[in-house]
Amino acid sequence: MKGSGKHVVRAGYGLYFGQTFINIPLFMLQQTNALLFTTVQLTNSVLPGTTGGASDIVPSTGKPLSQFRYGVDPNPAKPIASTQLPAGTTGQLIDQNYRNPYTQQWNGGYTWAITSNSAIEVEYVHVLGLHDSKRIVINPKVNGVRGTDAPLAAAGLPLLGAVRDNQPIGRSRYDAMNLSYRKRLSRHFSVNTSYVLSRALGYNGASASFGNAPTDLRDIFAAHDFGPTPADEKHRFVFSGIVNLPFGINFAPILQLASGRPYQALEGNNDVYGFGGSQGNTHAIVLNDQPTNMLATAAFSTAQLQACLAANTCHQVAYDNLRGENFFQLDTRFSKTLKFGERMKLDLIFQAFDLTNRANFGATYQGNIRSAAFMQPNGFITPAGVIVPKSFSGEFGARFSF
């Protein structure tokens, strides 16, 4: 909706279906595992520098691995299908009610054209993710015993491992207020600057809540499993521009400043609930009267943690409860054009990345409270987050046109 020519108000709503990928393997049967094992053997036999297994016989061929010629000798015969699952078989299912996730997106904004070449904008964005895939163990092990053990044993059948059901029950959300100021090139400079106040929330998973698993298999929507996603930045400020300097030199800086990204304090290898290491990833457990002291229980045994949880004197910390250092990066570009006659010109360019040589760690910190390196950075922010993630670098370039 337009107003007097200097003001614009806009709003929108949309539904966006689908996802970029889905990689949920079918229930793994015995014959599938055997076939994969054979494939690995064959691959190892022809890779240079591999050791071991050279005298193993390739199934159904009678040849040792060291003599098998891939693409020349006949492939091994497919193992006969089994009708019985071996003991300890694990697998994943796609829930019978599975459906594609989608997002509901709202936005509203206001633009004020201050002059003919500058404007201020304010915008609100809300995104609600629904039916995200959530991985649920349908036969959880509690105190070392699975719920399927007794009936399977009574029927004389082998006991199964964890069976994970991918259910469309997760959700996530993103809210942001965007402020920006733009000025087109005039009086020898242009400016683009923006500030974002935002939050991105999901259930105990990577980006948003896709494919996550709950920490407590008896409470799959526990409050402590909901929190900021690893890429969440509460504040983010970006400044960029172009300045025409004397002697025909153009200067174009890009400045980025953002609040620290979150990461998780974990119990490490301590399986407090007895679910098994592959079934849950317990957040750090803290005393109720010392909720910010992560190390107060670092020396507790599993039995001590179980006792304090049962007595309600301690609790799991929230998802992604810690924050790393603030992010700062300054990149810039200098360029100058030299002209020769009417048509020929030479463009000289120098680009500098991370000009202040600052290390940015993002959310790559040691979260295990039982580690001596707890809360210490152990890597740099991913290259997808910035142009150069580690330290200062520069490059020169030239282009001659005629």
Q: Which of 288, 293, 299, 284 is nearest to 367 (CA)?
A: 284
Token code pair at residue 92: 């994943």
347-to-27, 106, 250, 372 alpha-carbon distances in Å: 60, 45, 11, 52
Confirm whether 295 is domain-assigned.
Answer: no
In a domain, 298, yes or no: no
- Identify which of 63, 13, 23 has the alpha carbon closest to the alpha carbon of residue 42: 63
Same domain, 167 and 178: yes
| Residue 362: both structure tokens together | 């993002």
CA distance 203 to 168: 13
Alpha-carbon span 50 to 72, nearest angstrom: 21
Predicted pLDDT of residue 383: 52
Q: Say whether both 129 and 39 belong to one domain.
A: no
Q: What span, in angstroms and rounded, lies between the C-alpha atoms of 193 and 120? A: 10
37 and 107, same domain (yes or no): no
Q: Do 159 and 244 share a structural domain?
A: yes
Domain-embedded: residue 309 = no
Please indicate, yes or no, whether residues 101 and 65 belong to a single structural domain of this protein: no
How high is the pLDDT of residue 42? 33
pLDDT tens for the 402 residues of the chain, in order = 444 458 899 999 999 886 544 444 333 333 333 333 323 333 333 333 334 455 678 877 888 888 888 888 888 887 777 777 788 888 888 888 988 888 999 999 999 998 888 999 999 999 998 888 888 888 888 777 888 899 999 998 888 888 888 888 888 899 999 999 999 878 888 999 999 999 999 887 644 555 677 888 888 888 998 999 888 999 999 999 999 998 889 999 999 999 999 999 998 766 787 776 544 468 999 999 999 999 999 999 888 998 999 999 999 999 999 999 999 999 999 999 998 888 899 999 999 988 888 888 888 899 999 999 999 998 888 654 554 456 788 899 999 998
Domain that holds residue 203: 7-29+85-283+318-401
Which pLDDT belongs to residue 128?
92
Is residue 156 assigned to a domain? yes
The pLDDT value recorded for residue 277 is 52
CB 132 within 8 A of CB 103: no
Looking up tokens 């803290």, which residue turns up? 286
- Please give the Cα distance from 184 to 203 (Å, whole number): 42
pLDDT at 22: 46
Domains contained in the chain, number: 2
339 shares a domain with 197 = yes
State whether 216 and 74 are in the same domain. no
> Does 12 fall in a domain?
yes
- Domain assignment present for 305: no
**Type of residue found at 95:** D
Contact 321, 262 (CB under 8 A): yes
State residue 99's pLDDT score: 86
**Does one domain contain both 263 and 343?**
yes
Same-domain pairing of 90 and 75: no
Is 301 contained in some domain? Answer: no
Among residues 38, 58, 84, which one ends one of the domains? 84
Quick one: tokens of 364?
A: 């790559």
Cβ neighbours of residue 126 closer than 8 Å, sequence gap 6 or more = 105, 106, 107, 173, 174, 175
Distance separating alpha carbons of residues 394 and 353, to the nearest angstrom: 6
With a CB cutoff of 8 Å and minimum separation 6, the contacts of 48 are none
Is 259 domain-assigned? yes
Cα 101 to Cα 98: distance, rounded to the nearest angstrom: 9
Residue 329 CB: number of other CB atoms within 10 A?
A: 21
Is there a contact between 239 and 209 (Cβ–Cβ < 8 Å)?
no
- Of 274, 334, 280, the C-alpha closest to 305 is 274
Q: Tell me, yes or no, whether 184 and 326 share the same domain.
A: yes
Please count the CA atoms within 13 angstroms of the CA of 79 that sit on its side-chain side.
16
Beta bridge partners of 186: 189
Using the 3D structure, point to which of 84, 107, 125 is the last residue of a domain. Answer: 84
Tokens standing for residue 76 = 């091994």
Task: Using the 3D structure, point to which of 18, 53, 84 is the last residue of a domain.
Answer: 84
What is the biggest distance separating any 2 CA atoms in the chain, rounded to whole angstroms?
94
| Pair 247, 354 in one domain | yes
Contact 355, 326 (CB under 8 A): no
Residues 157, 112 share a domain: yes
CA distance 78 to 35: 7
Cβ neighbors of 96 (< 8 A, separation 6 or more) are none
